Structure 1
Amino acid sequence: MTDDPRRPSLIDLFREEARTQARVLNDGLLVLDRAPNDAAALEACMRAAHSLKGAARIVGVQVGVELAHAMEDCFVAAQEGRALLDAAWIDELLRGVDIIARIGNDEDESARDAVGACVAALQARMARVAPHRAPLRREGVPSVAAGSAVSAPAPRAVIEPPGARADTSANADADDDATFNLLADALRAQATAPVVPATPASTATDTPAAPAGASSASSTTNDPGRMLRVRADNLDRLLSLSGESLVESRWLKPFAQSMLRVKRVQRDSTRALDQLHETLADLKLDPRAHAALEELRRLTAESQHLLAERLADLESFDRRSTHLSQQLYDAALQCRMRPFGDGTGGLARMVRDVARSLGKKVRWQLVGESTQVDRDILDLLEAPLGHMLRNALDHGIEAPAVRLARGKAEEGTLTLDARHTAGALLITVSDDGAGIDLAALRASIVRKKLASEDTAARLSEAELLEFLFLPGFSLRDQVTEVSGRGVGLDAVHDVVKRVRGTVRITQEPGLGTRVQLQLPLTLSVIRSLLIEVAGEPYAVPLAHVNRTLHVSRADIELLEGHQHIAFSGRRIGVVTAHQILDTAPPANEDGAVCMMVIGDGPQTYGVVVDRFLGERMLVVQPLDPRLGKIRNITAGALMENGDPVLIADVDDWLRSVERLVAGGELRHAQHGGALTAQRVVRRVLVVDDSLTVRELERKLLATRGYDVTIAVDGMDGWNAVRGERFDLVITDIDMPRMDGIELVTLIKRDPQLQALPVMIVSYKDREEDRRAGLDAGADYYLAKGSFHDEALLDAVRDLIGEAYE
């Protein structure tokens, strides 16, 4: 098994699920704190604890199993009426929720100790719970004798809003010390409980009274300088929606242009009708025919007039809609922006400290501190800016004595400038130092065997400066605390490429050096080239596409086993996108191919695609982080018609080509080849409400070649089996909306599905549970308690065989 359940990826998935279930438990417990008998809240809490226990058991986090089991026992006892979750009990359960939110693995001693203490406290409370299902009454509340007057039950201790008066008349018979302890426990619970939004079920007594100064505070609601706290994901969603609106608005223009063609066709038909009228004018036709012809001419003229009016309205709407969408996007983008100065707070101190350590005097200038920068780009800039400034201090600005000898002020100037220009963010680091010694740079290139002496002598200044971005390249022969390792400009180059920007170095001998970064204003919208590969669309950022070509297969040459074409006076390698994306080649190949040129320098390649679909401006939709890094893909987007499209990671594509070249696995694209017979892959549907269990089972089966589809609960699974063909269904039992037993029953009662094999994988290992599953029609029952990879795979092979027919 290549995917060990204890691999960090699965542990990370478990942590994600633990945090999700902790939020469910937290919300449910806060509801139960107000309404202890709320059935929906109890059910939600019990299910969350149950799912967490199954997930913890499947990845081997025993402390999670113990804690979730203890919490589940409490909720079950409350559901059965054997226990009432009072404030102190809620405190213990909330303490358990806090532990769940940070639980990770058995090796964490502090987690084990915390879980042990919490489990012991919960078990101590459960030990006092009656084993039967009779509801427990509160201590201190008198029982109601038969025939006696019914008195109101004593309310639970609650925390009154500031200034409110607690009504304790109903608790007159309760012990004062017990009441004090209850209040103290409730106060501690309120102090440690996280703040959650009020739910619609909240009552007026749950809401604190408005402070006396509320009326004066409300007068500031129109203050333009007010600061509001908004979740980052809400802002991202707003920007995403506004970007989609902007993309959608640009669909109106081509639609209006197509309507102009309709108008031209109608104009031509009107002319043809006029000619027909003139031809028939001299003929003695029936008066009714003449009247019909005149009516037809009138209707045609009227429809042409109406169409012209509607087209004018459409063009006006197109202008207004595009303008409004652009304003909306700009406003949403502004919410995402931060002043450039927010990311440069520590640079002034860093420049001062480094200059002092080098014995240099430097005047620091920050220009464009208020320039608005996308927060994601600003977060990425901190390290590159530090490298660039340290390089300027160490390599550029001279020592005071040297500057004085050259007729300069002994204090050098180091400037960081940020501004918007031509729809991009331009960041410049400049100094008034000595510039770059090109002779020393050329000698270093030769000494490091990066080019021969003759080649280095022919390199232009711009070409020489490009070597500074190579990994490990430095003009320093000795490593110091400031430089010498060759990671500075290399790190800058990597970050700039990651955000689809450019970097350029210019210098003047004796006058200084300038490094310019040109970056996109935002990472949320990109201009892309849409291509089609194996029937699927892909988007390639235009910033990474050098050229698009239509090349005859006869122009693709085979040299030393590799394919090449002539491009810009040199030869570049050729590879197919089918090999990069590991898809089947097309069955029919024409005499010409669509090719895009990507990469730079010796890593420039022509990539053959099925066809070009045009250019689009796409709103970037980040992939779910739980998916991890997907090879060759960086993000997703939606096209105008709502279809999803994957955005290519061009750097990954280049690395994939390098691996194919190194392994000698490149297929030839000069001529078409018969498509090899495709093996039929058996399809499996995994139905489980636990993210961790779903992902583990999916990876187990997918690595063995099975085509796996997932469903998040029984209802989702039932809809899936009715809409698609599967060879096997693997399901849990306890799930929301529809449990596994009901799903199995529905499948086996359906005449078209009853032959479909169904396997139950559940944490319930009791004989009666196993019998219930098999009686419902399940073909196999596997307990999660004894779950391991080979057991599942053996069971799948027993039921449907290997992955390929």
Structure 2
Amino acid sequence: MTPEQMRDASLLELFSLEAETQTQVLNAGLLALERNPTQADQLEACMRAAHSLKGAARIVGVDAGVSVSHVMEDCLVSAQEGRLYLLPEHIDALLQGTDLLMRIATPGNTVSAADVEAYVALMNRLLDPSQIPAPVVAPVFDVSQLLLAPQPQAPQPTFEPPLAAEPAQRPQRRTESGERVLRVTAERLNSLLDLSSKSLVETQRLKPYLATLQRLKRIQSTSLRALDSLGDQLKVVGLSHEAQEALAEARRLLAESQHVLSEQTAELDEFGWQASQRAQLLYDTALACRMRPFADVLAGQERMVRDLGRSLGKQIRLEIEGEKTQVDRDVLEKLEAPLTHLLRNAVDHGIELPEQRLLAGKPVEGLIRLRASHQAGLLVLELSDDGAGVDLERLRRTIVERQLSTEATAAQLSEEELLTFLFLPGFSLRDTVTEVSGRGVGLDAVQHMVRLLRGAIVLEQTGGQGSRFHLEVPLTLSVVRSLVVEVGDEAYAFPLAHIERMRDLQPDDIVQLEGRQHFWHEGRHVGLVAASQLLQRPPSQNDDETLKVVVIRERDVVYGVAVERFIGERTLVVLPLDPRLGKVQDISAGALLDDGSPVLIVDVEDMLRSVDKLLNTGRLERIDRRNRHTAELARKRILVVDDSLTVRELQRKLLLNRGYEVAVAVDGMDGWNALRTEHFDLLITDIDMPRMDGIELVTLLRRDNRLQSMPVMVVSYKDREEDRRRGLDAGADYYLAKASFHDDALLDAVVELIGGAQT
């Protein structure tokens, strides 16, 4: 390449960068001018942008760029001087010219001379006042005629839509302040963040050394005092001159070593503090390199909403709040597609046609609001529209027509339950497929991508007033704020985004409902599970009766997870697990704590599925925090196992009134789980029960070395001798027929087997 060719290539690259900047100004300004065509500052900004592009194109010899920008400038100058009132047709054409200029300036794109000539001719026609109708601020409809006329269909657009109906792939940009941008690969950024996080962890390893040196200083001080005391005691017996000199020399050496140790400890302490500060700054800077303003994902969305609305015969404005909210680069990239789906959905399904809006007493122009904000380590997005909302009755009919539910069941579904059907794969309220919608992949794809980001999405609507999507996703995928806990002498981290609360429970706070443990939390009973069982760790041997519980939530599902100890809140750098491990149950990733020790990050959604699986199979273990000493002093405990609620309650009240402590189980499987995890003095069981009958339960108990000596009473409707013999052969100590059942018979049998209630 000759020097002249190199110079031309460099100028073309500069022209491309300038075109990118100036077309952004044009896009934003033209959308503002569409709402207020006489806005002087926007007219000035757009005119200057077109003028700058014309000059830049002339310098680099791009004649097509000169021609396009020149006619655009003429149009804008005419509007500035009051000779032209900008109509939607002018805005369409100017936006089309903006897209054409970007195509001309982008390396590798080819724009034919015919395209440029056609555009110049279009602009010249629009600049001819004789061919443009008088300006109309807003369309006027005869409402009385609309009430009598059949509902109109969406009119076909009479204009040629602009070239960019979707947000296009964009090259890198300069910052708003004009700072130079250095392009760095994502892999290098990830490597930098990884190294900085490791350096931050390494600086924390100095703390144990400092603690050891401080301890050594204290030992030396004690040694020096002991040596002085020894010298005082030896003076009484009278030491030789040589012994006194040796003692003084030992004292001097010890004092000197203590002085040196003090100096080195102080220097190491200062070095450790400086190193940790620099490592923290390095880490924060590396993390900031990954963060981008939310506005980066919005480029082109406002234009897309406007163009799509025009093509459907609708007037729509997009309002955006929180453009400067900082979000991780990876999260931004993954958010662009879901946001595009939701915005297109709002334009097509949400906002009504102008005639319909007038009949409903609404402004002709529809409004879509998008708001971004930080909240508890999450990026919260709210996308709302002032359209018609979801037609719940039509949705109910569609559910039945698609055989997703019976008519009787669909009639009983709540609004929240009905709206969840919109997120099913292939579900759509449209009868026909159009270029915009009808295939049923929009909301399903949105939900899938949001869940990949470890986020959640909720749809709310008000009939006739509009819909609102509420999205919550992590601010970053590389760093997570977590609560670190101890389970089975190992550290685990629960992401704060899924934690509703941390609680200390006393044994009396735990209640038994239908054989399962619950506690009262914010007006509802919440199920209690042991983290040791979920994570397959040995149960805690801690004698402390207070139970540490993490209340986790995923949408409407809430559970309390019992752990051994709360270590504290930490910001963890996510370290992906080795792909060769595959999906590890209940675990999403790993991390390192400040002292360099590893910690596993819990996959809360997966953990909740594990809880459901344990509940469905009846293998959920109970938690007994009463220590052995307390159990020995407590009242005698009896487990009643019966699938009849009436029988369970009758037996429970009888035994409670006599002074016994009673727990209940709904079937043999539930009773077996209770027997393995809690201490009981007596088992009272029925025979005929689902999942596991009483005979199987007694047989399992007699085979268990720890439980085989426990007294067992069978209470059953079966009073035949062969039934009685079968129960006793299985290992029961007492058989009582329900047909001849009365209060005294049960209580007398209990006293006979385990004695009175008090120990």
Shorter-chain TM range is: 0.3 to 0.5
TM-score by length of 1: 0.43
Of structures 1 and 2, the one scoring higher in RCO (CA 8 A, sep 6+) is: 1
TM-score by length of 2: 0.45
Structure possessing the higher radius of gyration over alpha carbons: 2
